[in-house]
Copies of this chain bind each other. A is one copy, B any other.
Amino acid sequence: MLLFEPFTINTMVLPNRLVLPAMVTRLSGEDGFVNKDIRDRYLRFARGEVGLIVIEAMGVHDARSGPLLRLSRDEFIPGQTDLAKAIHDCSPGKVVPQIIHFLKVARSGWRQKIKDLSLEEIRFIIEAYAAAAGRARQAGFDGVELHMAHAYTVSSFLSLRNARNDEYGRSLENRMRLMSEVILRVRQTIGKDFPLGIRFDGEECIKNGYTLNDSRQMALRMAQLGVDWISVSAGGKFEDAIHKPGTPLYPYTGYSGDRCMPSAHYPDLANVPVTEAIQKYVREHGFTTPLIATGKIRTPEQAENILQGGRADLVGMARALLADPDLPKKARNGKEEKIIRCTYGNVCKNLDENFHKVTCVLWSKGSLQAPESSDDQAPMWPDHGAQLKAESVKGQIFLNWNPATDNEAIYGYEIYRSTDSHTFDHLTSVKRTTYYDLDVVAASSYSYYIVAYDLAGNHSSNSNTVVTRL
């Protein structure tokens, strides 16, 4: 598989082409230091053998916020050095921090706008990015990624809604000015041989926001400025965020948040076409800068197809790796069937939106980390079998089955469905032994079977198959 071929980015050689994009955890304290929970989270990913870990955004400045790592002062370097070393010690993968500048938000719903920033404050942002990137290098990371996506400062300058009247606003060139200055100043600080990546929105997904027409020109500029990789996201903006009284306005709560982390209701690979179009544009202009595609890429097979099709150079998976950090290792060893599958139910997204620690709904209740087990004994159905039953209830299909047993623990049940005798697909996974299927229509027939899985991803035999109609 191309997915498990090494990939060189500047001076860093990734063992494979799977990337963990920066994903908020809310596990750090508000002091900005690496703590045990954060450390455990990233070491867990590292042991799973993902090729590149992008550690969640770290503040380049000291402005107040909720739980957030920082690289805003030298005192944060030792903790990050320890984290980088620990990851390197247990994994062939590479690790870079994502660094971020953000503006102020208040519980009242008020937020600082880029229009309010003086030229001196803009100068400070550029210097803060450069200094933080320098600290990333000092800490022994393999590179650094600049956060220029979503609702944060540089993205707000890039936005088509940037209404500044000076040289930082209105025209595309002016909107890209801060981005360009940050990239140049960071490069000057970290040197040519330290890998430098950007994460940005391929589409803003808000009213009067930018689309591919602009983003491909932004990506070309990044390539021209010598950026080493471009990671494409979408949406995640303040403009359509839903204000929950008493809490600071939080992006990802509106439609643009849906587009940033597409749920089960979205087609797979929802944001890949935009990444592909950006890549094409950058290539047509003579640049080979690697592009990272993200957004509901569920399986190693889908990732491989993206690479084989030349649609992107690297594949990012956030929620799929949260559900199973061992996905890369299992796939590399030909044990795809042991992968614990994300359901894209976005419980993780919801936890984040409600300012809770981010965990996966599939994990054991109360656990802050994905389980780890080397057990290889598969779950068993009881002697009288799974006895899966399906019935039509009020225009929905209700499934129930017998619980399975396991030497360690039953972790959950995968539900497979075939519509009108087509191929069986993974519909979702649940912890209970019941499920209501709402995605059904009267003209079709549906076949289901259930598979029980344990903490290591060992799977039971398939349950009986039931065929039903509304």
Interface residues of A (CB under 8 A from B): 160, 166-167, 170-174, 176-177, 205-214, 217, 220-221, 224, 240, 242, 254-258, 265-267, 273, 394-396, 437-443, 470
Cross-interface CB contact of A255 among B170, B176, B205, cutoff 8 Å? B205
In the assembly, what is the distance between CA of A212 and CA of B296, in Å?
15
A-B contact pairs, 27 of them (CB 8 A): A160-B265, A167-B394, A170-B395, A171-B395, A171-B437, A172-B440, A172-B441, A173-B396, A173-B442, A173-B470, A174-B395, A205-B255, A207-B242, A207-B257, A208-B258, A208-B265, A210-B265, A211-B266, A211-B267, A213-B265, A213-B266, A214-B439, A217-B441, A221-B443, A224-B443, A240-B255, A255-B255
Residues from chain B with Cβ under 8 Å of A205 in the complex: 255
Residues from chain B with Cβ under 8 Å of A470 in the complex: 173
In the assembly, what is the distance between CA of A253 and CA of B48, in Å?
46
Residues from chain B with Cβ under 8 Å of A443 in the complex: 220-221, 224
Question: Is the beta-carbon distance between B258 and A171 smaller than 8 angstroms?
Answer: no
Question: Is the beta-carbon distance between B441 and A267 smaller than 8 angstroms?
Answer: no
Most buried by B among A209, A220, A273, A441: A441
Question: Nearest Cβ in chain B — how far from A268, in angstroms?
Answer: 10
Question: Is the beta-carbon distance between A173 and B395 smaller than 8 angstroms?
Answer: yes
Residues from chain B with Cβ under 8 Å of A439 in the complex: 171-172, 213-214
Question: Is the beta-carbon distance between A254 and B440 smaller than 8 angstroms?
Answer: no
Question: Nearest Cβ in chain B — how far from A163, in angstroms?
Answer: 12
Residue of B nearest to A254 (CB): B207
Residue of B nearest to A277 (CB): B267
In the assembly, what is the distance between CA of A470 and CA of B171, in Å?
11
Residues from chain B with Cβ under 8 Å of A173 in the complex: 395-396, 440-442, 470
Question: Nearest Cβ in chain B — how far from A444, in angstroms?
Answer: 8
Question: Is the beta-carbon distance between A171 and B440 smaller than 8 angstroms?
Answer: yes
Residues from chain B with Cβ under 8 Å of A394 in the complex: 166-167, 171, 174
Most buried by B among A209, A220, A242, A442: A442
Question: Nearest Cβ in chain B — how far from A211, in angstroms?
Answer: 5
Residues from chain B with Cβ under 8 Å of A210 in the complex: 265
Q: Would A221 and B171 be within 8 Å (CB), given that A267-B211, A395-B177 are in contact?
A: no
Residues from chain B with Cβ under 8 Å of A167 in the complex: 394-395
Residues from chain B with Cβ under 8 Å of A258 in the complex: 207-208
Question: Is the beta-carbon distance between A212 and B172 smaller than 8 angstroms?
Answer: no
A-B residue pairs, 5 tightest by C-beta = A174-B395, A171-B438, A207-B255, A171-B396, A171-B395
In the assembly, what is the distance between CA of A437 and CA of B256, in Å?
28
Residues from chain B with Cβ under 8 Å of A257 in the complex: 207
Question: Is the beta-carbon distance between B438 and A172 smaller than 8 angstroms?
Answer: yes
In the assembly, what is the distance between CA of A224 and CA of B395, in Å?
18
Residue of B nearest to A436 (CB): B171
Residues from chain B with Cβ under 8 Å of A217 in the complex: 441
Residues from chain B with Cβ under 8 Å of A176 in the complex: 441
In the assembly, what is the distance between CA of A167 and CA of B257, in Å?
30
Q: Would A211 and B265 be within 8 Å (CB), given that A170-B396, A174-B395, A255-B240 are in contact?
A: yes
Question: Nearest Cβ in chain B — how far from A69, in angstroms?
Answer: 29
Residue of B nearest to A174 (CB): B395
Question: Nearest Cβ in chain B — how far from A428, in angstroms?
Answer: 13
Most buried by B among A173, A177, A224, A440: A173
Residues from chain B with Cβ under 8 Å of A438 in the complex: 170-172
In the assembly, what is the distance between CA of A439 and CA of B210, in Å?
11
